[in-house]
Amino acid sequence: MRTDPIRAARPLAAASLALALLAAGCTGAGQTGEGAEADLDVSTGVTDDTVTIGAHMPLTGPAAPGYSQISVGAQAVYDFVNANGGVHGRTIEYLAEDDAYDPTRTVEVTRELVHQDEIFAMVGGLGTPTHSKVVDFLNTEGVPDLFPSSGALMWNDPEKYPLTYGYQVDYTKESKILGEYISEEFEDAKVGYLLQNDDVGVDSQRGLDMYLQDQAVSVEHYESGAEDLSAQIAGLEREGAEVVVCACIPNYVALGLLESARIGYEPQFITSSIGGDTVTLRGLLSSFAEQAGSGGDPDDFLNGLMTLGYLPPVELGGDDPWVAFLRGVYDEYGGDAPLSNTTVYGMVQAVQFVRALEAAGEDPTRASLIEALESLEPGGPGLVPFSSTGEDRGGYAGGFITRYEDGELEMVRDPAVTDNAEGDIEPAEVDRPLPEDIGPLAQG
C-alpha cells in the first residue's frame, strides 16, 4: 500500500482538532474561582453513638519506623475514652489510613476518608509533602483539618485555610529558641547547620540565622531518603564546627551521631523537636549498630545530646502528672513497643481533639467543633501554651531544651514562647490542667 501523505497526517490532524475543540470550551485550568462556601452546619460522621474521624499516616514505607507509633498512641487514648463512656456518650472511631508517605496515596486515601468513610474531621494527617496536597481539598469540602503532624508554617494561615489548625511547634519558632540558646550558651563557638533539604531546612535556617548569623561557619543539607551523611559530617568537621544544630528526622540524627563518632569528631549536637525523641533514637542506634555488626550502648552516642521539646518528655516519668497518666493509658491500650515521645505526640494530639469535641457540645456539628476549638484553653498536656484561636492557630507556641545523660533528661532552657517573625523570645506561662480536670479522661 502506498502511503498517502495526507492520510499519514490525519491522526495528528484529528488529535489537534479534538484538542482545539476542548480548548474552545474551557476556561483556564488554574482558574478555580471561589466556590460556594462549604456548609459547616452539618454533623457528617456523627451518629447517635459514634463520631468517625480519620488521618493519613505512614504505616508502611520510609517514614514508618518511629512515626507509625503516632497513630498507635492516638488509638490508645481513643480506646481509653471509649472504654470509659466516650464523649457525650459517643465512641470515637479513628481511621488511620496508610499513605506510605507518598503524596499520591495521600490524595487517594484522603478522598476515601472524606467521600466513602465520611469522616467528621481529619485529625493529625502526617507530613508536609503529603498533607500539603490535601489541605486545599479538605478546606473546600468543609472538613475540619485539625492538628497536621508537621511543623510547616502553612497550617497557620486562617485566610487561605480557614479550617486548618496547627499542632506542632513550627520550624521557625523552635529554631529561633535554639538559635538564641546557642548564641547565649556557646557564645564563641563555631556553629554548623545540618538541614533536611526541604521546607524543614528552609524554615529552620530562617530562625537560626536570626541569632547565629555571625557564628555559622557551615551549612550542610541532606536529601530525605539519602543513605549516609559522611559527606555532610566531613564538611562540618572541615569547617571546625563545634556546635552542630540538626533540623533532621530521627533517622538522620542517628546517622549523624554514628558518623561523627566513626571519624572521631565530637561537636555538641543539638536537634530540633522532630529528631529529638531519645527513645526512638536509642532504637535506631541499636539497629544500626546491629546491622554494622558492632555492639555498644546507644547511650555512648546519645550522652550530651541536646534537644528541643514542647510536650512532657517520657523520661520525666512519674514526676509529671500527664506522663504518668499517658503511660497508664498506653500500658493498658497501647502496643508492644516501649512508650516513646513520638507515641506521646500522638496521644496528646488525641487528648486535644477529645477536649475540643467535648466542648463542641451534646450534638456536635463541624461549625460547633471549630467554635469550641477556637475557645479552647491554651493550657493542655504540653509545657508551652497551645494556640488555636481565630487569628493564630499555630499550635504549640515554643519549647524548652533538655540535655540527655544516661536515660535522664536535664532541663537546660526553661519553656519559652515566640512567633515565627521578628518577635522576642519570652518565658512561657502555661496553666496546665490535670488529666482528671478533663471530662472524658476523668471518668476512668
Partner 1 sequence: MAPTHRAPASDARPDTAGPAKAATATRAGRRPALGHPLLRHGLWALAALAAVALLTAATGPVTDLRVADVGLHLLAVAGLQLLVGTSGQVSLGHGAFMFVGAYTMALLVVNLPAVPLAAGMAAACAAGCLAGLAVGAATARLHGPYLAGATLMLAVGLPAVALRFPDLLGGANGLAFTAIGAPPALSGLVDDTQWRALVVWTVALIGLVVLATATRGRLGRHLRALRDDPTAAALSGIPVGRARVTAFVISAGAGSLAGACQAYVLGTATPSTYALTLSLVLLAALVLGGLGSLWGAFWAALAIVYVEVAGTELAHALELDTDVRNNLPVVFFGAVLIIIVLAWPRGVHGALSALGRHRSTPSQTGDS
Residues that bind partner 1 (CB under 8 A): 1, 3, 7-8, 10-12, 14-16, 18-20, 22-23, 25-32, 59-61, 64-65, 68, 98, 102-104, 107-108, 111-112, 115-116, 128-129, 132-133, 135-137, 140, 197-199, 202, 223-225
Minimum distance from residue 407 beta carbon to partner 1 (Å): 25
Q: Between 94 and 181, whose beta carbon lies closer to partner 1? A: 94
Q: Between 116 and 294, whose beta carbon lies closer to partner 1? A: 116
Minimum distance from residue 355 beta carbon to partner 1 (Å): 30
Cα separations in angstroms, 434 against 86, 126, 261, 334, 341 = 19, 27, 42, 21, 19
Minimum distance from residue 203 beta carbon to partner 1 (Å): 12
Q: Residue 94: helix, strand or coil by DSSP?
A: strand
Compute φ and ψ for 328, nearest 5 degrees. -60, -45
Residue 326: CB atoms within 10 Å: 28
Instruction: Give me the count of residues in the chain.
Output: 444
Q: Residue 415: helix, strand or coil by DSSP?
A: strand
Q: Between 196 and 273, whose beta carbon lies closer to partner 1? A: 196
Minimum distance from residue 298 beta carbon to partner 1 (Å): 20
* Residue 112 per-residue DSSP state: I
Q: Could you tell me whether strands 386-387 and 395-396 are parallel, antiparallel, or unpaired per DSSP bridges?
A: antiparallel
* Residue 169 per-residue DSSP state: P
Q: Between 20 and 422, whose beta carbon lies closer to partner 1? A: 20
Q: Between 93 and 377, whose beta carbon lies closer to partner 1? A: 93
Minimum distance from residue 294 beta carbon to partner 1 (Å): 21
How far is residue 324 CA from its own chain's centroid? 23
- Distance, in Å, from the CA atom of 75 to the CA atom of 335, rounded to the nearest integer, reads 10
Q: C-alpha cell of 184?
A: 547565649
Q: What one-character-per-residue DSSP string does 261-312 give?
A: HHTT---EEEE-GGG--HHHHHHHHHHHHHHHT----HHHHHTT-EEEESSP
Q: Between 32 and 47, whose beta carbon lies closer to partner 1? A: 32
Q: Between 139 and 389, whose beta carbon lies closer to partner 1? A: 139
Q: Between 7 and 238, whose beta carbon lies closer to partner 1? A: 7
Q: 168: closest CA among 401, 344, 371, 345?
A: 345
Minimum distance from residue 32 beta carbon to partner 1 (Å): 5
Quote the crossing angle between the two packed helices 199-212 and 171-185, to the nearest 10°.
Answer: 30
Residues 6+ apart with CB under 8 A from 64: 58, 100, 101
- Distance, in Å, from the CA atom of 342 to the CA atom of 350, rounded to the nearest integer, reads 13
Strand partners, 309: 400
Q: Between 22 and 294, whose beta carbon lies closer to partner 1? A: 22
Minimum distance from residue 292 beta carbon to partner 1 (Å): 18
Q: Residue 5: helix, strand or coil by DSSP?
A: helix
Q: Residue 74: helix, strand or coil by DSSP?
A: helix
Minimum distance from residue 232 beta carbon to partner 1 (Å): 15
Minimum distance from residue 10 beta carbon to partner 1 (Å): 6
- Distance, in Å, from the CA atom of 306 to the CA atom of 404, rounded to the nearest integer, reads 6
Q: Between 68 and 365, whose beta carbon lies closer to partner 1? A: 68
Minimum distance from residue 359 beta carbon to partner 1 (Å): 32
